[in-house]
Amino acid sequence: MPTSGTQRVYCSGVTALLTLLGLAVTGCIEVDQTLTLEPDGSGSLAVSYAVSEQTMRRIEGIHAASERIASDRKLSLERNPWMMLVFDPEALNQRLKQYANKGIYLDRFNASTANAQQNVSFKVSFDSIAEVASADFFASYGFSLIAGERNRMTLITGPWVSNRVTRITDLESPEALTLLRPLIGNFRFALTIRPPGRVLDTNAHRSTPVNAQWNYDASETPGAFFDFQETPIRLVFDGSRSKIPPIRQTRPAD
């Protein structure tokens, strides 16, 4: 609702793209994630990402451009709280440690800078996927594990943002378009899920009986950035060995 002549917006043009770039541990330009689930609901999540100094400068430029656009239109920007953590490894390290009270433990964390690029990798282990699903970095886009007939379990997440991000050709600001085009052109996101049972069905790009892989690479598919943010993750596996209870974690209302 507008307040005092200022409208609050969550996903619109540059603002939406900023939101996407700041998603949990998935919002950088080159990201690899591996989620492993055990039959008792425990598991691990390994993440690595790389951001070049040039990319960081461009994102700073996007921030400045979005602030100017918001000011001109009397808009109040809603920023994802993980936005700056992605670019501040020490702050991210400290934040991840705070989840220990939810049974989510930081096993390792490495950060380095080489060849004008920041590289970060970490791994968390967890006692219960249900607790992970309620943590803010999953709850921000919704997470469900649904029990079906014949011991079939369906894992669903996403889509990665609640409203479709405006495609770059639709952006009104030439300045924003110039800044964003190189970022989108270099975008790559890879996710591997290893469920506690045989993979039966999935919308993954590749799958084997033991895992499913999603790969969004703009160097191979020009629209990969938008396919990533518009596509939910779906994986059906054999749950005959699983003791994981059904999980219904919906996205908070916008």
pLDDT tens for the chain, residues 1 to 254: 333 333 333 333 334 444 444 433 333 468 899 999 999 999 999 999 888 777 667 666 666 766 776 677 666 555 555 666 777 889 889 989 999 988 999 999 999 988 888 899 999 999 998 888 777 766 655 678 999 999 999 999 866 554 444 454 444 555 555 555 655 667 788 999 999 999 999 999 999 999 999 999 988 887 787 788 778 899 999 999 999 988 876 554 44
Look up residue 105 and give its DSSP letter.
E
Report the alpha-carbon distance of residue 48 to residue 109 in Å, rounded: 10
Instruction: Please report the pLDDT score of residue 69 as a whole number.
Output: 67
Contacts of 152 (CB under 8 A, 6+ apart): 200, 236, 237, 238, 239
- The whole-model pTM stands at 0.76
